[in-house]
Amino acid sequence: MKQIHLNLLLVAVAAGLFWLLVLDENKEEAKIAKAIERQPPLTTLDANAIRRIRLKNSASPDIVLEKSDYGWQMREPVAVAADLVQIGNLTALATLETRGSIDTKVAKRPDLGLDPARSTVLLDDIELGIGEIEPLKRTRYIELSPGSANNRISLVDDFAPEVFDGEYTDLINKALLPFDAQIARIEVPGLVLARDTAGTGWTATPASALATPEAMDQLANAWRDVRALATVPPLTSASPTSKADVAVTLADGSRIGYKLIDKADSRFLQRLDVPVSYQFVPAEVARLLSLMPPPPAEEAEPEAEAAPEAAAP
């Protein structure tokens, strides 16, 4: 009889352990499901509908970007086409998934880098305060509508600092010319290419055997298609009145001049009308100067004639 009771007890214990394992497994599955559950986005904005962005950083002037019929343009601190990749990084802030939230009533905002914020981003009329990185999961604090009654502090996956570090040159388009540029004239040292009167071909001054119709078309296409590795602050002092090393005149009459600068293993084209330098590998710039005549060969200095030997007495 005792053996029967013992067997029943063992069965009950085994059943209990089985259900404990099932419950633990269910809890673990629920925990995993919660961890991967899609979290609400940072804002309700449609990223594609955003028309205006303002970046505020205490260490630099405000940067203003606007969407126009010709794509995104930088309006402040300079007027120039904006980089679409970086614009995409900025508008993507609107729909970032949140990874948690912080109670604004008990949060020590200075400890989160939100008082003051490292930077402020305005997407249309929605303001985001960019804070520091949370050290455990490497997520970043962002405050929605700081200073308002509806402010909210969320954690989001970290993103590239270029989108808010206040350096406007990071946001400039990497193309040398506007995307719809119609080139009328290209000036490189020793050579000028100009559209012919019919507007269908090019003329070279001075004429050159290298400047074939095909080669001149390739040069114009190179100027339209080339993209810089990076856009950086000016490397030397220059102004719109400075003498250009190379220049391109567009069909609307606007002229864009550049200064050629060699530094380290890169070659730079620094715009004279906008404070920005475009960084290239030297081979890319060589394409833009491919029809430039070679420098004249230096003439060898004539050897001095030997003095006649004195006659023997």
* Six token digits for residue 167: 């350096």
Closest CA to 123 of 65, 70, 40, 80: 65
Closest CA to 65 of 55, 57, 282, 56: 55
Q: How far apart are CA 60 and CA 54, in angstroms?
A: 13
* Six token digits for residue 270: 């620094």
Closest CA to 282 of 292, 268, 296, 295: 268
Q: How far apart are CA 214 and CA 253, in angstroms?
A: 24
Please give the mean pLDDT across all residues of the chain: 85
Q: Is 108 exposed, middle or buried (0-12, 13-18, 19+ CB in 10 A)?
A: exposed
Give yes or no for a contact between 258 and 274, defined as CB atoms under 8 angstroms apart: no
Higher pLDDT, 19 or 311: 19
Condensed to tens digits (0 to 9), the pLDDT of residues 215-259 reads 999 999 999 999 999 999 999 998 889 999 999 999 999 999 999
Q: Per-residue pLDDT for 28 more than 60? A: no
Closest CA to 244 of 188, 282, 284: 188
The mean pLDDT value for 162-174 works out to 88
The mean pLDDT value for 85-106 works out to 91
pLDDT of residue 29: 44
Query: Any idea which residue has 């989001």 for tokens?
Result: 156
Higher pLDDT, 194 or 137: 194
Can you name the residues that pair with 55 across neighbouring β-strands?
A: 63, 121
Condensed to tens digits (0 to 9), the pLDDT of residues 77-91 reads 999 999 999 999 999
Q: How far apart are CA 18 and CA 10, in angstroms?
A: 12
Q: How far apart are CA 225 and CA 215, in angstroms?
A: 15
The mean pLDDT value for 31-41 works out to 54
